[in-house]
Amino acid sequence: MFKRLSESLGRAAASLHADEGLRRGRLLLSWLTAVGPGLARQVAPAEIRGDTLELVCSGPLWAQEVLLRQKDILARLNPLLEGAPLRRLRCRPGRFHPVEPSPTPPREEPYPWESVTLDAGALERIEKAVAEVQEPTLAERLRRLLVQLERRRQVAFAQGAIACGACGTPTRRSPCRTCRREARARRRHRIEQRLAREPWLTGPDLAAEFPDLHPAEFLTIRTSLRSRLEQDIWAMIRALPAGSSLPDGLRARMIELVMLSTGLPAHRLDARHVRHALCPTLARAYLDDQACGPWDGKPAARRPKTRTHPVAADYQARKPSSPAESSSSSGSRGSHLNRRWPEGAPG
């Protein structure tokens, strides 16, 4: 003899002492169906006492709304509940977890390129690229990826895209965004190399070689180079014992930093430019040819500004002689200003 599944579940829930939880769940679902998701977010059922349904509401305005709609709510709710029909609704303020309807899964639509059929030439190119992969699983994944990319290319061209003149990627304008970004990176690298070879060059000097060079871009490149060069100088000078002589490579880098800051070549520099371009600690270390020790908290003694130092001759004697040494000593450059300094004054 067949029995209804609800009766069997009811007896099983009663034996497991879960009938109260099931009754609570049925009440919540029935309430959501009867009043809708809008009111269910503000009012929730608490328990049934005789013929009265106790409700918890978020505020007095919603309690008034429920009382005004009591007859309509009971007419919709009673057919959904089992047992004696309810006759009254009673509201009290409190906190509760609102009953939310189950989210509707979004309708999945096929992508436009999934229905594209590739021609024999495209499939032949894909198989030729996949044939170089020996591992079967990796080869199959690569085949699916190349097929999808080729289908997307054809859809993009059908929608009005053009091929990039450099890489052939579909784009709205040629060259594509990736090629433009790579071109800017290569151009910046050439400018950095140019400043590494001749750190005294200014914006107008480089504008003759790079016509579209903007002053703001030039300042950004020189500032980055100067920052990296300062980090190298500090790393080298902190590794020296206090009072020891500065090595030739370090002194050459310090003068290159001065040329980056002032925009003057080495033969036009003197001690005033060194004191202006370098911080007091580095300037004192260069002019005295002694590595500075740990800072003791005392201010450095002021030196007379009339003191001179053969900067140009010192740089010519200590600068790297081979191209390899030059590239290693000037691989990182920094900057500060985008102007020429007067010949007789540091700034």
- Region at 25 (left for phi over 0; alpha for psi -120 to 50; beta for the rest): alpha
> Would you kindly state where each structural domain of the chain is located, as residue ranges?
5-93, 113-171, 189-293+300-329
171-188 confidence digits (pLDDT tens): 888 888 899 999 999 999
Please check whether residue 237 is in contact with residue 291, taking contact to mean a CB–CB distance below 8 angstroms.
Answer: yes
Question: For residue 141, what pLDDT band results from cuts at 50, 70 and 90?
Answer: very high
pLDDT for residue 343:
43
20-66 confidence digits (pLDDT tens): 566 667 777 788 888 888 888 888 888 888 888 888 888 888 888 88
Q: Is 162 helix (H, G, I), strand (E, B) or coil?
A: strand
How many other CB atoms sit within 10 Å of the CB of residue 46?
16
Instruction: Give just the sign of the alpha carbon dihedral 8, 9, 13, 19.
Output: negative
pLDDT for residue 256:
92
Please check whether residue 315 is in contact with residue 252, taking contact to mean a CB–CB distance below 8 angstroms.
Answer: yes
Rounded distance between C-alpha atoms, residue 227 and residue 165, angstroms: 37
Please check whether residue 266 is in contact with residue 311, taking contact to mean a CB–CB distance below 8 angstroms.
Answer: yes
DSSP state letter for 298 = P
CA-nearest of 303, 293, 189, 199 to 239 is 293
Kindly state the tokens that stand for 317. Answer: 């004697």
pLDDT at 151 over 60: yes
pLDDT for residue 49:
84
pLDDT for residue 333:
37
Rounded distance between C-alpha atoms, residue 81 and residue 78, angstroms: 5
Q: Is 342 helix (H, G, I), strand (E, B) or coil?
A: coil
pLDDT at 331 over 80: no
Chain centre distance of CA 173: 25
pLDDT at 72 over 80: yes
Average model confidence (pLDDT) across the chain = 78
Q: Which of 155-164, 192-201, 252-261 has the lowest mean pLDDT?
A: 155-164
Helix or strand holding residue 138 (H, E): helix 136-158
pLDDT at 302 over 90: no
pLDDT for residue 41:
85
pLDDT at 344 over 50: no
State which fold the 5-93 domain adopts.
GMP Synthetase; Chain A, domain 3 (3.30.300)
pLDDT for residue 339:
37
Q: Which of 26-40, 136-150, 268-282, 321-335 has the lowest mean pLDDT?
A: 321-335
Q: Is 163 helix (H, G, I), strand (E, B) or coil?
A: strand
237-280 confidence digits (pLDDT tens): 888 888 889 999 999 999 999 999 999 998 888 899 999 899 88
DSSP 21-90: HHHHHHHHHHHHHHHHHHHHTTEEEEEEETTEEEEEESSHHHHHHHHHTHHHHHHHHGGGS-SSPP-EEE
Helices (H) and strands (E) counted in the chain, each on its own, are 14, 5
Q: Is 273 helix (H, G, I), strand (E, B) or coil?
A: helix
pLDDT for residue 345:
41
Rounded distance between C-alpha atoms, residue 24 and residue 1, angstroms: 30
269, amino acid identity: L
